[in-house]
Chain A
Amino acid sequence: MNEILNGLIQAIELIVKCDPEVMSITLRTLEITFTSTLIGVLIAIPIGGLIYFKNFTGKRSLVNLIQTLYSLPTVLVGLLVFLLISNEGPLGNFQLLFTPGGMIQGQTILILPIITGFTITGLYGVKSEIKDLALSLGASDFQTIHTLMKEAKYALYAAVILGFGRAISEVGVALMIGGNIRGFTRVITTTMSLETAKGNLELSIALGIILLGISLLINLALNHFQEK
């Protein structure tokens, strides 16, 4: 009990004093996660739009598959990306293993299904009359998708936030692909796992509080958009 309390007090001290290690790990984590979310959004939202708009055989199965992949195990993505970008893998030439780039790749793959899936459901949430209305007013396919996305914008914000939340809280990809290199690929979750193993509880607790804070902000934002 004393240990927890002491850890907590020291952790708060670390945060309040803006401990350089805590700050640099937090910043790096945000940097990596923002980048993977950004790339994820740039890929997933257009693809989600395309899947929603186009009619093709196997569409329902594809959407089901995407929804199944929401809970894609992070270690599986870690393994997949490891095999892809390892020196002997097909993308070995990029030399991405044990780099933030590799982590971004893994996290992006991890969150693509979530953002794509929620984009599709978001678009289906828009009344079908809106699509007809846009078409009847002379919108091209592209303009129609754009209009629908504008109508579904709060659902899309929620999709992005969920993707970000999943990326920032995962540890499998970060550890397997990033290698937890100090000052380079060490992020909040991997540091917590390592420092707990090393018995440095105060650093783990400090980072845990920050991660919790970020999750809280994410959830507040999500609730804000869902109420709209």
Chain B
Amino acid sequence: MSELKIENINKLYDGKLILEDINLIIKKGTSLGIIGPTGCGKTTLLRIVDQIEMPSQGKIYYNNIEISKSKNIIRDYRRKIGMVFQKPVVFKGTVLENIEYGLKIRGIDTNSTQPKIKELLRSLGLEGYEHRKASTLSGGETQRIALARALIIEPEILILDEPTANLDPLSTEKIEYMIDEIRKKNKTTIIMATHNLIQGQCLCDEIAIINNRIQQIGKPEEIFRKPENIFVAEFVGTKNIIKGNAQKIEDNLTLIRIEDINVYSTSSIEGNVYMSIRPEDITISRSKTIITGLNNLNGYVKGFLDIGTFIKVDVDVGEIFTIYLTRKTFFDLQISLESNIWLQFKASSVNVFK
């Protein structure tokens, strides 16, 4: 099975380690999202994967062949890749000349590809743009041209570096639609950097959160549900992160002591830890009820905020927990400031990480 393997990549810039110990295996036809804050090394990693930049250390294998061994291998490898850069850029000349560039470089006759170019432009909403001067187009249009230019060569790997950053909604939608279409065919490997979590979640089979190093890699829902460290948790916007000390009390059960309260968890991690609980996994009642969940905490309403469909309620049980209530529940339970409240959640819903 053909795959792209990135092994022990390090990259130094002016003595600073921008990428550290990057290892990735990307199977043919899958899509990987590279997500991280600005300056985390996303762009550098993609440039190294495309071999327009060389790593300080480490190797890349494609179909078990080591790339960067010779100029010819690098060039042939690059010719299997289409890349769209974050900053839209075009060659001087017409839209058509831009799109045909990759074909001409490969010595492909461009006469036979005209219908394909036409179809590509049409599906990107740029019908009839062939003979426009590329430099006169808007940023969004230019980026769509860039995608068409990368796709016309039918790449085995498509690399996208924040393809929709700072673009108008129409262009963003067209580009996302196109990426999704390619993804559905399961033929092209897609590597896409983004800082838009939703985009990553929608378009990628797997997500790697990176900040110079890979912080966590996995299916999108895994990452959102179970961040493995505080960086990922904060980056994906996890709610109710609380510091505590965990101790195993029986098989599959740990007690986390947090100043005035105790929380039970099914995690096996011990010592100083962080715990998090998703607001939607917490249920509430006005009086103490017997429940199956082990966690049953009493507190009072410290504040609430109407955010439309839901009302966000902060409850102080010694620590502040945030929960979301529907309007109906909020009014049925006659919740107001200082209302006494019980919070209940399962031990298995508690995510624990170092």
A–B contact via C-beta, under 8 angstroms: yes
Chain A interface size, under 10 / 10 to 19 / 20 to 34 / 35 or more = 10 to 19
| A132 and B91 contacting across the interface, CB-CB below 8 Å | no
A228, B75: Cα distance in complex, Å: 33
| B78 and A136 contacting across the interface, CB-CB below 8 Å | yes
| A133 and B91 contacting across the interface, CB-CB below 8 Å | yes
Main secondary structure of the interface of B (DSSP, over half): mixed
Contacts of B69 in A (CB 8 A): none
| A138 and B153 contacting across the interface, CB-CB below 8 Å | yes
Cβ distance A132 to chain B, nearest Cβ, rounded Å: 5
| A137 and B153 contacting across the interface, CB-CB below 8 Å | yes
| A147 and B91 contacting across the interface, CB-CB below 8 Å | yes
Cβ distance A145 to chain B, nearest Cβ, rounded Å: 13
Contacts of B78 in A (CB 8 A): 135-136, 138
Contacts of B79 in A (CB 8 A): 138
Chain B interface size, under 10 / 10 to 19 / 20 to 34 / 35 or more = 20 to 34
Contacts of A138 in B (CB 8 A): 75, 78-79, 81, 102, 105-106, 153
Interface status of A151 (Cβ within 8 A of chain B): yes
A132 nearest in chain B by CB position: B52
Interface residues of A in 110-147 (CB under 8 A from B): 127, 129-130, 132-141, 143, 147
**Which residues on A are within 8 Å of B, measured CB to CB?**
127, 129-130, 132-141, 143, 147, 150-151
Main secondary structure of the interface of A (DSSP, over half): helix
A137 nearest in chain B by CB position: B102
| A137 and B149 contacting across the interface, CB-CB below 8 Å | yes
Interface status of B85 (Cβ within 8 A of chain A): yes
Interface status of B193 (Cβ within 8 A of chain A): no
Contacts of A135 in B (CB 8 A): 52, 78
Interface status of B87 (Cβ within 8 A of chain A): yes
Report, nearest first, the 7 A-B pairs whose CB atoms are least far apart: A138-B79, A136-B83, A137-B102, A129-B89, A135-B52, A139-B105, A132-B52
| B75 and A136 contacting across the interface, CB-CB below 8 Å | no
Contacts of A134 in B (CB 8 A): 101, 105
A130, B134: Cα distance in complex, Å: 14
| B105 and A137 contacting across the interface, CB-CB below 8 Å | yes
- Could you give, for residues 41-77 of chain B, a 1 whenever the CB lies within 8 Å of some chain A CB and a 0 otherwise? 0000001001010000000000000000001000100
| B85 and A129 contacting across the interface, CB-CB below 8 Å | yes
Contacts of A127 in B (CB 8 A): 89
